[in-house]
Chains A and B, each alone.
Chain A
Amino acid sequence: MMAPLLSCRGLTRRFGGLLALEALDLEVEEGSVMGLIGPNGSGKTTFFNVLTGIFPPSAGKITFAGAPISGLTPQGVYRQGIARTFQRSRLCLPLSIFDNLMVGNHRHLPHGLWFNLVRRGALRRKVEESFVQARELLRIFDAALADRLLEPAGRIAMIDRRRVEVCRALISRPRLLLLDEPSAGMTHDETARLMDDILQVQQQLGLTIILIEHEMGVIERITRRCVVLNYGRKIAEGTYAEVSQDASVRQAYLGLS
């Protein structure tokens, strides 16, 4: 039995008097898809934010691929191979789709001033290479979108923006992908298609995914295990079938006792 790719012990995050995460224990096996569910405000996005270094944990440890990462900056977490999408779309709208994808691939691209200002031939080659790479990735999600790389991200439909955002997270070939409600605002069909495309990439890269979702159909279909949060605490863990039958989960979501 291999050690889990990601392991959190006693992860806690306080905001003043508010306990957003309380002593969270969580493990994710490499190559699996884990669902993170819970009512609004239960701490799911906070968990992502602490994991990616946007907020330091108030207590607890996070271990990724055997190395401790709690307390790393967001830049440091990214360099470990963890990439994410955001709950509210955070693309640079005035920039082209290509530019947005290049932001995601930051750690594989040359950013030195000497290279970028002086070595223009090498820069051009690198840009062409990246263009092809970006187009191929985007083609998995939508062939038409792949031909619109040089359009501003602000001018494409919402669903295409979500696709771009997912690709931005995927383009650096991370080991762990964090998806924060990727299907928000989409129809069932659009969601299903997006998830299928993500799974296709997952198989290619051997990717591990943590998925925050409200649509239970998606969770049921593609996750191996789920963790349910409520008021910052883990109240259930297991397969979807198991947690959906759990009494405390039903209480949290539906208020039944």
Chain B
Amino acid sequence: MKAAVAVALLTAFAWFLLRAESQAAVALLLGVGVVAGVLAPRLRMGGGSERLAHGLAFAALLVLAALLREDDFSLLLIARILIVIVACLGLNVQFGYAGVVNFAGASFFGVGGYTAAVLSRSTGMPHLLVLVAGGAAAGLIGTLLLLPVLRTRGHYAALVTIAFALLLRTFLEVNDTLGGPQGLKLPELRVGPLRFNEPVGLGAFEGSFYLRYVALALLVLVLAFAVVQRLERSFAGIALDAVRLDETAAASFGLDVAWWKIAAFTLGNFVTGVAGALSAFMIGFIAPNNYNFAESLIFVSILLLGGIGNPWGLSLATAIVVLLPEKLQVIQEYRFLLFAAMVILILLFRPAGLLPRPMRRLGQVR
């Protein structure tokens, strides 16, 4: 019961925050949120079955979406948060599990989006398949990028991904076939009979067309969450951790370190690419300046704030990082600076993040 109450409170809080118009109201709510966040561990709201937590979170999101059914902007924000969580889950597999740095997260997100744009504009490929193709393109390019530096130390992968992040943007701006600096427009997302840009008519009321995006994003998130959690709670998850923590020991016990890194990198980029493709459809167009190095660093900040390796922490951090600059207009301009400074503080004082990753408990005989 405690869990249900906690979730209900959280949902209410989210609703208030999303609906808040004045900066004062937002500031007040954030204050309340911080206090609640500090007190929460003492109230011991945690514990209980994880299935319940999943179910409650899912229900809460549905309730929230229903309450906000006519609020375009709030629904857009919710959808955006869900999509960024998916993208960061991909990064988490690379960073948090396998220990492979990726400072081009936003670039792979963009690769997914550009693939979706090109495929949906010039082919008749069904759009769900286009989403998958976006992921595949990101995965493939990532593999090619990492392959040469696979057997070297971590900072080489850092260099390669930073260079990729910087150069991709220039490459996109220079290439007119990919729209140049103006970018490309995407056609309306269509899945079967559903047309995603039409308002939603459900009996008596008319809801925002973003409702469908929220639903689709939620579905993709559930899938991504399931994959990532299953991966972590398996022998493969143990292998990834071993590769991250001690390559020499891992190799001495037969783990193919290079293979695991590439597998994690590719899988992670695939997930990020799918998220990028969905995002591109939702926004309706895609342009190079949204997928630059600074945005990649925001993704990294989310990972570190949340608690690297913890999908729940990641989700919380995403909500914070996406919502804060949107609701608190004054920090919109300063968000890169702010989040970078925040990460420095986290790394210095609380490197485990908001919700540290719990130890894997495989083998617990039930």
Contact across chains for A83 and B253 when beta carbons are under 8 A apart? yes
- Of A20-28, A58-66, A120-128, A190-198, the segment with at least 4 beta carbons within 8 Å of chain B is A120-128
Whether B36 is near chain A, meaning CB under 8 Å from some CB there, is: no
For A78, list chain B residues within 8 Å (CB).
252-254
- CB-CB under 8 A for A111 and B252, given A92-B242, A117-B231, A131-B365: no
Knowing A103-B253, A117-B231 are in contact, say whether A90-B242 is a contact too (CB < 8 A). Answer: no
A94 and B358 CA atoms in complex are apart in Å by 9
Contact A90 B249 (CB under 8 A): yes
Which chain A residues lie closer than 8 Å to B250 at the CB level? 103
* Interface: B30 (CB within 8 A): no
**Interface hits, B318-366 → A, CB 8 Å:** 359-365
Is there a chain B Cβ closer than 8 Å to A86's Cβ? yes
* B363:A106 contact, CB within 8 angstroms: no
User: What is the number of residues of chain A that contact chain B, defined by CB distance less than 8 Å?
Assistant: 45
Judge whether B253 and A99 touch: CB under 8 Å: no
Judge whether A104 and B263 touch: CB under 8 Å. no
Mark the stretch among B127-135, B200-208, B233-241 that contacts chain A. B233-241
With a cutoff of 8 Å between Cβ atoms, the chain B residues found around residue A106 in the complex are 239, 253-255
Does A73 reach chain B (CB closer than 8 Å)?
Answer: yes
Q: CB-CB < 8 A to B361: which residues of A?
A: 96, 150
Distance between B364 CB and nearest chain A CB, rounded to angstroms? 6
Q: Which of A94, A103, A111 is the one whose CB lies under 8 Å from B236?
A: A111
Among B252, B359, B360: residue with most chain A CB under 10 A: B252
A74 to B249, CA, bound (A): 9
Give the distance in Å from the alpha carbon of A216 to the alpha carbon of B248 in the complex: 29
Q: What's the least CB distance linking A99 to chain B, in Å?
A: 5
A75 close to B (CB within 8 Å): yes
Interface residues of B in 73-123 (CB under 8 A from A): none
How far apart sit A78 and B254, CA to CA, in the bound complex (Å)? 6
B234 engages A116 (CB within 8 Å): yes
Q: B230 contacts which chain A residues (CB < 8 A)? A: 116-117, 120
CB contacts (< 8 Å) of A111 on chain B: these are 235-236, 239
Partner of A75, one of B255, B360, B363: B255
Measured between beta carbons, the chain B residues less than 8 angstroms from A150 are 359, 361, 363-364
User: Cβ of B241: which chain A residues have Cβ within 8 Å of it?
Assistant: 92, 94-95, 99
Q: How far is the CA of A131 from the CA of B365 in the complex (A)?
A: 9
Query: Does A54 interact with chain B (Cβ within 8 Å)?
Result: yes
Q: Per a CB cutoff under 8 Å, which of B235, B245, B255, B364 touches A95? A: B245
In the complex, A102 has a CB within 8 A of chain B = yes
- How many chain-B residues does the 8 Å CB contact rule pick out? 30
- Whole-angstrom CA separation of A127 from B235 in the bound complex: 8
Q: A168: nearest residue on chain B (CB-CB)? A: B253
Q: Do the beta carbons of B234 and A123 come within 8 Å of each other?
A: yes
Asked whether B231 lies within 8 Å of A94 as measured between CB atoms, the reply is no
Contact pattern, A 158-177, Cβ under 8 Å of B = 1, otherwise 0: 00000000001000100000
> Which residue, of A109, A111, A131, has the highest number of chain B Cβ atoms within 10 A?
A111
Verify if B246 is at the interface (C-beta below 8 Å from A). Answer: yes
CB atoms of A75 and B231 under 8 A apart: no
Shortest distance between the CB of A218 and any CB in chain B (Å): 23
Q: Please name all residues of chain A whose beta carbon is closer than 8 Å to the beta carbon of B176 when the two chains form the complex.
A: none
Within A64-104, which residues are at the interface with B (CB < 8 Å)?
73-75, 77-79, 83-84, 86, 90-96, 98-99, 102-104
Chain B residue with Cβ nearest A99: B238
Cβ contact of A96, chosen from B235, B254, B359, cutoff 8 A? B359
Closest CB in chain B relative to A49 CB, distance in Å: 9
Q: How far is the CA of A172 from the CA of B251 in the complex (A)?
A: 14
Determine if A90 and B234 form an interchain contact, defined as CB atoms under 8 angstroms apart. no
Task: Give a binary string over A178-210; 1 marks a CB under 8 Å from any B CB, 0 the rest.
Answer: 000000000000000000000000000000000
List chain A residues, Cβ under 8 A from B363. Answer: 98, 127-128, 130-131, 134, 149-150
Determine if A103 and B242 form an interchain contact, defined as CB atoms under 8 angstroms apart. yes
What residues on A are CB-neighbors of B248 within 8 Å? 54, 74, 90
A45→B310 CA distance, assembly (Å) = 38
Known: A78-B252, A95-B245. A103 touches B238 (CB 8 A): yes
Partner of A103, one of B255, B364, B365: B255
Chain B residue nearest in CB terms to A172? B253
Q: Using A75-B251, A90-B246 as known contacts, say yes or no to A113 and B359 having CB atoms under 8 A apart.
A: no
- Would you call A152 an interface residue if the criterion is a C-beta within 8 Å of the partner chain's C-beta atoms? yes
**Which residues of chain A come closer than 8 Å to B45, judged between CB atoms?**
none
The reply to whether B254 and A107 form a contact with Cβ atoms under 8 Å apart is: yes
Residues A113 and B239 in contact in the complex (CB < 8 Å), given A52-B252, A75-B254, A103-B255: no
- Min Cβ gap A48→B in Å is 10
Question: Residue of B at shortest CB range from A151?
Answer: B359
B140 at the A/B interface (Cβ < 8 Å)? Answer: no
- In this complex, the member of A99, A103, A117 whose beta carbon has the largest number of chain B beta carbons within 10 angstroms is A103
Cα A106 to Cα B248 in complex, Å, equals 14
Check A117 against B227 for contact (C-beta < 8 Å). Answer: yes
A110 within 8 A of B: yes
Asked if residues A99 and B360 are in contact (CB atoms below 8 Å), the reply is yes
B residues in contact (CB < 8 Å) with A: 227, 230-231, 234-239, 241-242, 245-246, 248-256, 263, 359-365
11 contacts between A and B (CB under 8 A): A74-B254, A92-B241, A92-B245, A94-B359, A98-B363, A113-B263, A116-B230, A116-B234, A117-B230, A126-B235, A128-B363
| A113-B236, A150-B359, A150-B361 given; 4 more Cβ-contact pairs under 8 Å | A77-B252, A98-B362, A111-B239, A134-B363
| A contacts, CB < 8 Å to B | 52, 54, 73-75, 77-79, 83-84, 86, 90-96, 98-99, 102-104, 106-107, 109-113, 116-117, 120, 123, 126-128, 130-131, 134, 149-150, 152, 168, 172
